[in-house]
C-alpha cells in the first residue's frame, strides 16, 4: 500500500513505516499530524486517483525532528566587472514517520 501526497508544493510517494523530510510543519516532536492532501492511493493493486484530491483519504504521521538542511552556496559573478556575491541558504524541514494510510 502506498499513497502520493502533496506537502509544501512538492509531491511525495509514501508508504507506512517510511521516514520522509517535508517542508517545515507545525507541531512538536513526538506529536501526531494528519496530512490531508492525498492525490493517489494504491491498495492491493487497486488504484484510486483523486480529482485533484481524494476527499476521504488522510495520512497519519509522527513528527520525529525539526532541523535544517546542509548549507548551499549561491554564487553570482559578472566577468570583467569586478562583481561577485556569495549567499548561503539553509532550508528548514520536518522529518516525519508515516504511521497509517486511511482511505
pLDDT tens track for 86-101 = 999 999 999 999 999 9
Quote the domain boundaries for residue 13: 2-67+93-102
- Please indicate, yes or no, if residue 47 is contained in any of the structural domains: yes
What was the pLDDT predicted at 53?
Answer: 92
Note the pLDDT of residue 36. Answer: 86
Q: Is residue 78 part of a domain?
A: no
| Domain count for the chain | 1
73, part of any domain: no
- 53, part of any domain: yes
Q: Cα 13 vs. chain centroid, distance in angstroms?
A: 9
Task: List, for residues 26-76, the tens digit of each pLDDT value.
Answer: 989 999 999 989 999 999 889 999 899 998 899 999 999 999 999 999 999
Vertex 33: Cα angle to 32 and 38 (nearest 5):
140
Residue 87 burial (CB count, 10 A): 9
Q: What is the pLDDT of residues 67-89, one digit of tens each?
A: 999 999 999 999 999 999 999 99
Residue 103 pLDDT level (bands cut at 50, 70, 90): confident
Amino acid at each position: 500500500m502506498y499513497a502520493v501526497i502533496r506537502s509544501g508544493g512538492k509531491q511525495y510517494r509514501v508508504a507506512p513505516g517510511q521516514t520522509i523530510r517535508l517542508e517545515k510543519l507545525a507541531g512538536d516532536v513526538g506529536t501526531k499530524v494528519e496530512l490531508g492532501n492525498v492525490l493517489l492511493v494504491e491498495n492491493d493493486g487497486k488504484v484510486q486517483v483523486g480529482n485533484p484530491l481524494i476527499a476521504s483519504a488522510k495520512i497519519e504521521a509522527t513528527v520525529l525532528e525539526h532541523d535544517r538542511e546542509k548549507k548551499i552556496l549561491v554564487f553570482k559573478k559578472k566577468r570583467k566587472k569586478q562583481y561577485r556575491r556569495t549567499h548561503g541558504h539553509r532550508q528548514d524541514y520536518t522529518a516525519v514517520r508515516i504511521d497509517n494510510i486511511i482511505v
